[in-house]
Amino acid sequence: MENIKAGVIGGGSWGTAIAQHLTTNNISVDLWVYEKELVEEINNKHENTIFLPSIRLSENIRAYNDIQRVIEGKQLIIFVTPSHHTKSIADSVHNSLPEGVPVVCASKGIENDTLMTMDEVLHYVLPGRYHNYLAYLSGPTFAKEVASGLPATCVVASRNEEVAKQVQFCFANKSFRIYTSNDVAGVELGGAIKNVIAIAAGICDGARLGNNARAAVITRGLAEMTRLAVKKGANPLTLAGLAGVGDLVLTCTGELSRNRTVGILLGQGKKIDEILSGMKMVAEGVKTSKSVYQLAKKLDVEMPISEKIYQIIYEGLNVREALYTLMTRTLKAENEYSSPLV
């Protein structure tokens, strides 16, 4: 892979891990970092002690506070910003991105105000000449493990097959297997909603509700994810893949999951403000729970677990009361809906 230069927008844990991974394929990376103190640290010490500690970063990563410097002359652009900041950051470069190159979004979430997915956000913000080059990366990938070179798989979705293959080519190597998909809606919504379900799984662990309860949350959470995604035009089989059940299982059970950690602390009785004040990194499921709740109401999709997570976080609903309400709902057949998966 000669002469490929990438611009990664976002120096959090996942953005830094993606930058590190790309360098293993001999791709040089310019990394836009919001925190000024991190620029010097990454460039001089080759570390990101705030968001990805204990990882020695490649010297082929250069960090900048100047976003224009990061995107200029690149053959690959990747947005890895918190989902609620993606619109404003994309808007800041909407007329200066390089043309004719893949623009990948690796952020997972749904906007609170507009209920837009990241795909809808980028189509809204970016001029039409960029739309055919958009792609979306998702799947079961913890940043620390990817940056450490441990084996992982993910999926890149694009409506343009050639763009998906270009991204696949840039990312794939012996430790990172990447599949392509044309189901943008399924890949996006799976990656966003699983963070909400992971909070529910964490609550099960924090409240010591048992392994049975966590398995139930994962399984019925998958049904909720699939129902909403299908309503938005997704293929239900996508939710049975890497961006759906794969990412869901990882985020609901992995020790490195920030969303599961939020759930554990909620299950232990802590309040959401106290939890968030002690976190350096973003747990996307907190904001996404509000979006999912409102989007489900708008589209008339039944999502009882997601609804209870919203109520616990934003309305102060007691965890035990939420559990009782879920367990005593009207009894029904498992597969009442049109898709065999939901």
CATH 3.40.50.720 domain locations along the chain = 5-182
pLDDT bracket for residue 340 (50, 70, 90): very low
Digit-coded pLDDT (tens) for 116-159: 999 999 999 999 999 999 999 999 999 999 999 999 999 999 99
Q: What is the mean pLDDT of residues 158-169?
A: 98
pTM metric for this prediction: 0.94
Q: Would you tell me how many other CB atoms lie within 10 Å of the CB of residue 1?
A: 11
Structure tokens at 176: 């990172």
Question: CA nearest 309: which of 329, 290, 327?
Answer: 290
The reported pLDDT for the residue numbered 48 is 96
| 329-342 mean pLDDT | 72
CATH of 5-182, one of 3.40.50.620, 3.40.50.1820, 3.40.50.720, 2.60.40.1120: 3.40.50.720
Mean pLDDT over 67-82 rounds to 97
* Tens-digit pLDDT profile for residues 191-240: 999 999 999 999 999 999 999 999 999 999 999 999 999 999 999 999 99
pLDDT digit string, tens, across residues 226-269: 999 999 999 999 999 999 999 999 999 999 999 999 999 999 99
Instruction: Note if 194 is an active site residue.
Output: yes
Look up tokens 């708008």; give the residue.
298
3-class state of residue 57 by DSSP: coil
Residue 66: exposed, middle, or buried by beta-carbon count in 10 A (0-12, 13-18, 19+)?
A: exposed
| Catalytic-labelled residue, pool 74, 87, 108, 194 | 194
Beta strands per DSSP E along the chain:
5-9, 28-32, 61-64, 76-79, 103-105, 134-138, 152-157, 176-181
Residue type, 209: L
Give CA–CA dist 205/200, Å, rounded. 9
Distance CA 15, CA 21 (A): 10
Q: Which residues does residue 79 pair with via DSSP β-bridges, in sequence order?
A: 9, 105
Q: How do the residues of the chain divide into helix, strand and coil, expressed in percent and rounded to 5?
A: 50, 15, 35
Beta strands 176-181 and 134-138, pairing class = unpaired
Q: What's the CA gap between 110 and 118, in Å, rounded?
A: 7
Domain with CATH 1.10.1040.10 in the chain: 192-327
Q: Write the CATH number of the domain with boundaries 192-327.
A: 1.10.1040.10
pLDDT confidence of residue 3: 81
Residue 1 reports pLDDT greater than 60:
no
Q: What is the pLDDT of residue 242?
A: 98
DSSP string, 255-286: TT-HHHHHHHHHHTT--HHHHHHT-SS--HHH
Q: What is the pLDDT of residues 272-305, one digit of tens each?
A: 999 998 887 778 899 999 999 999 999 999 999 9
